[in-house]
Chains A and B, each alone.
Chain A
Amino acid sequence: MIRIPCPFCGIRDHSEFTYGGDGSITYPALDAPLQEWHDAVFQRENICGVQTETWHHVNGCRMWILVDRDTMTHEIHAVRPAHPDLAKALESSS
C-alpha cells in the first residue's frame, strides 16, 4: 500500500487515489501538428527510478496532484498540486 501525502488532505492510502500518468508531459496546443501530438501521447519513457506522475484524489478532495515517485521502491519524494496557482498558494502559505 502506497501512502500518498495529499497536499490538501494529508497522508492517505493510495486506494483513495487513481493513477493518472506521466506528469512530465507538456501537451501541445490543440492546433499543434499531428506529429507533436503523436509524440506527447504515445512516446513515453518507462522510467526505472524517480518519475513525476499525476494522481487524482478521486475519493477525497478530487484534486489532481503531481507526485515524484520511485518506481522501484514506491518511495515518494515530493507532492504538489497539479494546478500551478494552487501550488504557488500552498507554497507561499507554508
Chain B
Amino acid sequence: MSATRLTKGGRIDRSRTLKLTWDGKSYDGFVGDTLASALMASGTQILGRSFKYHRPRGVMSAGVEESGAIVTLGTGVRAEPNTKATMQELFDGLSAHGQNAWPNVRNDVGSVLGLFGRFFSAGFYYKTFMGLPPFEWGRGTGIWMQYEKLIRKAAGMGEASRLADPDAYDHAHAFCDVLVVGSGPAGLNAALTAAQQGKDVILVEQDFELGGDFLNQTDPAAEARRIELITALQAAGVRIMTRTTAFGLYDYGTAGLLERVTDHLALKPEHSPRQRFWTVRAGATVLATGALERMVCFADNDRPGVMTAAAARSYLNRFGVLPGQNIVVTTNNDSAYATAAELAVAGASVTLVDLRPEGGGSLSEVMADASVAVRTGLAPLRACGRRAVNGVQLARAEGNSWATADTLPCDLLLVSGGWSPVVNLLSHRGAKPKWDADLACFLPAPCPDNVVMAGSASGIWQGDACEASGIAAAKTALGQAVEGPVPGGWDTPIKPVYEVGLPDQKTKGFVDPQHDVTSSDVRLAHQEGFVSVEHLKRYTTLGMATDQGKMGNVIGLALMAEALGKEIPNVGTTRFRPPYTPVAIGALAGRNVGDHFRTLRRTPMHDWNLRHGATMTDAGLWHRPWYYARAGETITEAYIREAATVRQAIGICDVSSLGKIAVQGPDASEFLNRVYSNAFAKLPIGKARYGIMLRDDGIVMDDGTTWRLSETDFLLTTTTANAGKVMVWLEELLQLRWPDLKVHVSSVSDQWAGVSVAGPKARDGIAACLEDPDAILAENLPFMGVTRTRLNGGIDCLIARISFSGELAYEVYVSAGYGERMMDLLWAAAEPLEGCLYGLEALGALRIEKGHVTGAELDGRVTIDDAGLGKMASTKKPFIGSALRQRPELLRPDRPQLVGIFPKDRSQTFNGGALLCKPGVTEGHGEGWVTAVTHSPALGHWIGIGYISGGHGDWQGKTAIATDPVRKGDIEVEIVSPHMFDPEGERMHG
C-alpha cells in the first residue's frame, strides 16, 4: 500500500501541521487527522502485531471496530494501551508506539510463533493444561505457572502502567427529554425534530466532528446540509457533546456517557479532568449509531493493506489520503461502488470485483465513466504478500464451492461484505436483534423502553432515507404516530457471503482479527461439540476482544450456522454488554480515589486528639484514637500503660463515634420495650440501662445503653459500627410495623461529643470540672444514673455513670462544638491525678479483661445466650426476636459460647482468629474460635475471648489448642469464664 496525502480535499487543515512520534520516529500530520490517517499519509503501514500469532497488522477500518491499528498511546505513567489509532484524534506532540511486539511491530521476533500456529488454535488452553491447575488443583502448579507466564508474554495486548493514575476524572449528571446518540444524517435530524418541538435534547457524538457519514462525502451539497442542520441545532438550544461515547444503556432511560475532555489536547489544562463519566436520565432515547461494514473471511485477509471499503472512502474524502495507487475493491453489495469511483477520480487505478454475477446494475455504468474496471461473479480467495498486500487471488463460485480464478496485483485490497447496524446499545436493554435475510444483517427489534433506532442503525442505507428516518424516530420517541422509511435501499440485493475458501485450505482466514480467531477455529469448535453460540464464543474467544466482536461476530455466526446446517437466526446471537467501547477504570472511579475512596468521619475532638499525641486508626468510616504513645513507646507499651492507668487512676477516651439516637414521644418507652430483649418499660427517669436488641430471627443485632432523660425522651446509644443500621431498623419498625406508636426517632450522633472517663479517680477528675461538684457524688449519681449538669464555664452536659472498662466510669456528653473545651477541662483535671488519655487498643484490653462483647463477638451469628447474656432476656414480655430465638437449633447446649482464654503457659501468646480445637484434632473447623486477644495489665499475661462449643462449663480443667496454621502453630490454652477480671463488678460499683 503506497498511500499518499492529496494536495487538496478532505476536512483536514493543511495550514496547521502537527508533530507526532511513532515508535520513536517523528512524523507530521494535520489538524483534523486521526493517528491512523496521519500515519497512513506518512506511508507507515505496519501498526500492530496480532494477539496470538504476532502477524503484522495495518489499518483495517476508520472507526471503533478497528482490529489492526491498536497501539499504546503515551509513555510511562500515562501510557494508554490498546488505543485504536483510528479513533485517536491527532494533537501536537502525540507520542505512540506499537505493542505486543519485540523489538518493534516492524520486526517482531514473536512472529515466528506464526509458524507454530497450531499451538494456539481454539481451546488451546483447555486441552494443553487439562489436569493441571487452574483446571484441576493439586498437581503441577509449578508447570502451569511457568507456561502461563510464557503464554501471557507471547499472547497479549498492550501493557498498562503499574503506577497510580495521575489524572483526575469527574462524575457528572444530566437530565433531558430526548437523548440522541450519533450525529449522522439520522441523528442530526432526530435531535432537531425534538428540539423544534420544544424538547430538551442532548446530542452525543463519539467523534470530534459532528456529521457521521456526512463527513465521508465529497458532494458539497452534503456539507451544506450538515452545516445547515448543525446551525439549526445550535439555534434550538440542543446540548451537543462531541468526543463523547454513549457506552451503555440502562433501565429507565439511563445512559452512561464517557466524555474525553483533554485526550485530544497537546497542553492539558491544569484543573480540567481528563474524562467525565456522565449519567444521563432521558425521557426518550434515539439511537442513530450507524452501521459498520463487515469484512469477508478469506486467506490472509488480515494483511496490511486489506481494509473495509468504507474505511478507504473515509481516508480519501475526510482525511485527504489516497490509501493506495493500485486498488482492488471487492464487494457483494452496492455500497462499495461510489467508493471505487471516488478512488479512481482521485487518481488510483481501480478494479471493482463484484461477487454478484449480475454486478451492480446501473451502478456499473458510473464505473465506466470513472474508468473503473468491473469484474463480476468473483470473490477474494487469498490476499498475497506477507508484510503488505501485493495482490489478490480471486475465486469463482462453482455450485456450493469455489474455484481458483486469476490473481490481480494491487497495493490496497478493499472488502465490503455487507453492513451490520450498530444495535449494541439496544441489546444492552435486552432487545434481541432479529436477522434480516434479505439485507444480511441483524435489525433492531422493538424495545419495551422508549428507545428508538434511526438511520443505518435500523438498516436504512441511503442518506435521504436516513434523514427522514431521524425525523420519524424523534416523533415516535415523543409518542407521535408516524411511518418512517423501511430498511434497505440498494438497487441490486446483497449476495451474502461470509467466507471464501477451498475445501482443504490450510491458510488462515480471520473471523475476529483482534483475537486472532480464524474460520478453522470456529469449525474446530463445532467439531468438538460446541454448538451453542455462547459456548462458541467462550471456547474460541470470538468477540471477546476489546471491540466485542464488532468486526467478526456476524461472520462467526454465519460459519457456525453453516457447520450446523442451520439458518443464522436459528443459531442465535450473543448479547452485547456495556461498555460499547472500553471505559477506563479511572473514569468509573471518578474522584472516589485515595483519601476520597470513602467518607472519612472525624470526631469533634479529632484535632485535639492529634495535638495530644494520638495515633489514629480506622474504625469503619471513623478515624479514632488508637493509642497515645509517649516518647519511645511502642504501641504495645502504650496501650498496656494506658489500660493500667485506667485501673489505677483515671483515663479519658473519646467515644463520640458511638451511635446516638433520640427516641421521643408518648410511646417511646413502649417502643423500646419491644425493641430491646430486656425490660425497658419501667426504666426510671434519670437512669440508663444496658440493652441488647435482636433481629427478627433471634440473632443479636446490637447492644448499647439507653438513657431516660424525661417521661418521653430517651437517648439510645449504639455501637459505632451499627449506628446507621439501627437507625434504619427503628424507622422501619415505626413506619411499617407499628405505625400506631407515637414515637419519633432522630439521629443525633453528630450533635454530641462524648468521652468516657474511667478509673478509681474518675469521680474526682470530673468533679473538678463541674460547676456543681456535688452533682457527681455517689448518692446523687449512683451506678447507671444519668444527670444533666454544667461543666465549668456554663457548658451544659449529660453525665451517665456507665462502665465498659469495669472501673468506676462515666460518659460525659456536651454539644459537639464544646468537645475540645470539654477535653481541655477534663485533661487539666486528670493529668495531675496521674491520669492518661487512652485509645481503642487500651479500650479493647479493658473490655476483654471484663469479657464485654463488641463487634467481633456480635458477628451476626450469635444468640444472646451464646454471648452469655441470656439471663438479660425478659421472660415476662415479648420482644423482637423473642419467638425465633426459641428455635431448637439456637437452643442446643453444644453451641459455641462466649469464654475467656488463657495460655496454659502464661508467658505465651496466641492470635485472634485462631481456631480452638481438642488436643490432637487440629484439623477441620475445630470447636470454636478466638475473637480477640490482648495483654492484660491487670492479670499480667496474655488473655483472649472467643467462642467454644459447650462454653467454659464443658471445658473446665481441660486443655484446648489455639491453632493458627497460617501465622503460627499450636498453643495450649485454658478455657475460663469470660469475666476474667473483677468478676463480681465491685470496682465499677465503688
Point out residues on A near B: beta carbons under 8 Å: 1-3, 13, 18, 20, 27-34, 36-38, 40-42, 54, 56, 58, 62-64, 73-74, 81-85
Partner of B886, one of A13, A18, A34: A34
Q: Known A30-B879, A32-B883, A73-B448; judge A1-B731 contact (CB<8 A).
A: no
Contacts A1-B279, A29-B878, A37-B696 known; list 4 others, CB within 8 Å.
A27-B696, A28-B883, A41-B696, A73-B448
Q: Which residues of A contact B281 (CB under 8 A)?
A: 1, 3, 13
Q: Which residues of B contact A64 (CB under 8 A)?
A: 731-732, 735-736
Q: Which residues of A contact B732 (CB under 8 A)?
A: 20, 54, 56, 64
Cα–Cα, bound, A54→B739 (Å): 15
Q: Which residues of A contact B448 (CB under 8 A)?
A: 73
Partner of A18, one of B253, B728, B884: B728
Partner of B884, one of A31, A41, A73, A85: A41
Q: Mark B723-738, 1 if CB is under 8 A from A, else 0.
A: 0000010011001110
CB-nearest residue of chain B to A40: B696
What is the minimal beta-carbon distance from B247 to any residue of chain A, in angstroms? Answer: 14
Cα–Cα, bound, A69→B448 (Å): 16
Whether B884 lies near A37 (C-beta < 8 A) is: yes
Shortest 3 CB-CB contacts between residues of A and residues of B: A30-B878, A37-B883, A31-B878
Cα–Cα, bound, A31→B876 (Å): 11
Q: Which residues of B contact A40 (CB under 8 A)?
A: 696
Whether B697 lies near A41 (C-beta < 8 A) is: yes
Whether B252 lies near A56 (C-beta < 8 A) is: no
A sample of 24 cross-chain residue pairs with beta-carbon separation below 8 angstroms, ordered by A number, consists of: A1-B250, A1-B252, A13-B281, A18-B728, A20-B732, A27-B737, A28-B883, A30-B674, A31-B878, A32-B883, A33-B883, A38-B884, A41-B696, A41-B697, A54-B736, A56-B728, A58-B728, A64-B735, A64-B736, A73-B448, A82-B736, A83-B736, A83-B739, A85-B739
Within 8 A of A (CB), among B409-454: 448
Q: Which residues of A contact B722 (CB under 8 A)?
A: none
Cα–Cα, bound, A29→B142 (Å): 61
User: Which of the four size classes fits the interface of chain B?
Assistant: 20 to 34
The number of A-B residue pairs with CB atoms under 8 Å apart is 71
Whether A74 lies near B883 (C-beta < 8 A) is: no
Within 8 A of A (CB), among B441-479: 448
What is the minimal beta-carbon distance from A29 to any residue of chain B, in angstroms? Answer: 8
Cα–Cα, bound, A82→B253 (Å): 27
Within 8 A of A (CB), among B732-748: 732, 735-737, 739
Q: Does B44 contact A (CB under 8 A)?
A: no
Whether A34 lies near B887 (C-beta < 8 A) is: yes
Whether A74 lies near B731 (C-beta < 8 A) is: no
Q: Mark B239-282, 1 if CB is under 8 A from A, else 0.
A: 00000000000111110000000000000000000000001010
Whether B252 lies near A74 (C-beta < 8 A) is: yes
What is the minimal beta-carbon distance from B595 to any residue of chain A, in angstroms? Answer: 21
Name the residue in B252, B253, B884 with the highest tally of chain A Cβ atoms < 10 Å from its Cβ.
B252
Name the residue in B697, B728, B732, B736 with the highest tally of chain A Cβ atoms < 10 Å from its Cβ.
B736
Q: Does B936 contact A (CB under 8 A)?
A: no
CB-nearest residue of chain A to B883: A37
Cα–Cα, bound, A62→B724 (Å): 12
Cα–Cα, bound, A92→B503 (Å): 78
What is the minimal beta-carbon distance from A23 to any residue of chain B, in angstroms? Answer: 8
Cα–Cα, bound, A37→B879 (Å): 12
Cα–Cα, bound, A36→B254 (Å): 42
Partner of A30, one of B250, B254, B697, B880: B880
Whether B735 lies near A34 (C-beta < 8 A) is: no
Q: Does B882 contact A (CB under 8 A)?
A: yes
CB-nearest residue of chain A to B279: A1
Q: Which residues of A contact B886 (CB under 8 A)?
A: 34
Whether B883 lies near A30 (C-beta < 8 A) is: yes
CB-nearest residue of chain A to B724: A58
What is the minimal beta-carbon distance from A19 to any residue of chain B, in angstroms? Answer: 11
Whether A34 lies near B884 (C-beta < 8 A) is: yes
Q: Mark B686-721, 1 if CB is under 8 A from A, else 0.
A: 000000000011000000000000000000000000
Partner of B882, one of A27, A30, A82: A30
CB-nearest residue of chain A to B697: A41
CB-nearest residue of chain A to B882: A30
Whether B251 lies near A1 (C-beta < 8 A) is: yes
What is the minimal beta-carbon distance from A56 to any residue of chain B, in angstroms? Answer: 6
Q: Which residues of B contact A30 (CB under 8 A)?
A: 674, 878-880, 882-883
Q: Which residues of A contact B254 (CB under 8 A)?
A: 1, 3
Cα–Cα, bound, A38→B736 (Å): 19
Whether B252 lies near A3 (C-beta < 8 A) is: yes
Q: Which residues of A contact B674 (CB under 8 A)?
A: 30
Whether A62 lies near B731 (C-beta < 8 A) is: yes
Whether A63 lies near B735 (C-beta < 8 A) is: yes
Cα–Cα, bound, A85→B735 (Å): 10
Q: Which residues of B contact A36 (CB under 8 A)?
A: 883
What is the minimal beta-carbon distance from A17 to any residue of chain B, in angstroms? Answer: 11
Cα–Cα, bound, A2→B883 (Å): 36
Within 8 A of A (CB), among B659-691: 674
Cα–Cα, bound, A63→B882 (Å): 27
Q: Which residues of B contact A73 (CB under 8 A)?
A: 448
Q: Which residues of B contact A81 (CB under 8 A)?
A: 735
Cα–Cα, bound, A52→B928 (Å): 41
CB-nearest residue of chain A to B255: A1
Within 8 A of A (CB), among B877-894: 878-880, 882-884, 886-887
Whether B279 lies near A83 (C-beta < 8 A) is: no
Q: Which residues of B contact A34 (CB under 8 A)?
A: 883-884, 886-887
Q: Which residues of B contact A18 (CB under 8 A)?
A: 728
What is the minimal beta-carbon distance from A87 to any residue of chain B, in angstroms? Answer: 10
CB-nearest residue of chain A to B734: A83
Cα–Cα, bound, A82→B884 (Å): 25
What is the minimal beta-carbon distance from A68 to any residue of chain B, in angstroms? Answer: 15
Q: Which residues of A contact B739 (CB under 8 A)?
A: 83-85
CB-nearest residue of chain A to B250: A1
What is the minimal beta-carbon distance from B426 to any residue of chain A, in angstroms? Answer: 15
Q: Which residues of B contact A83 (CB under 8 A)?
A: 735-736, 739
Q: Which residues of A contact B252 (CB under 8 A)?
A: 1-3, 74
What is the minimal beta-carbon distance from A5 to any residue of chain B, in angstroms? Answer: 10
What is the minimal beta-carbon distance from A55 to any residue of chain B, in angstroms? Answer: 11
Partner of A82, one of B279, B735, B879: B735
Cα–Cα, bound, A9→B896 (Å): 47
What is the minimal beta-carbon distance from B427 to any residue of chain A, in angstroms? Answer: 16
Cα–Cα, bound, A54→B736 (Å): 9
CB-nearest residue of chain B to A87: B739
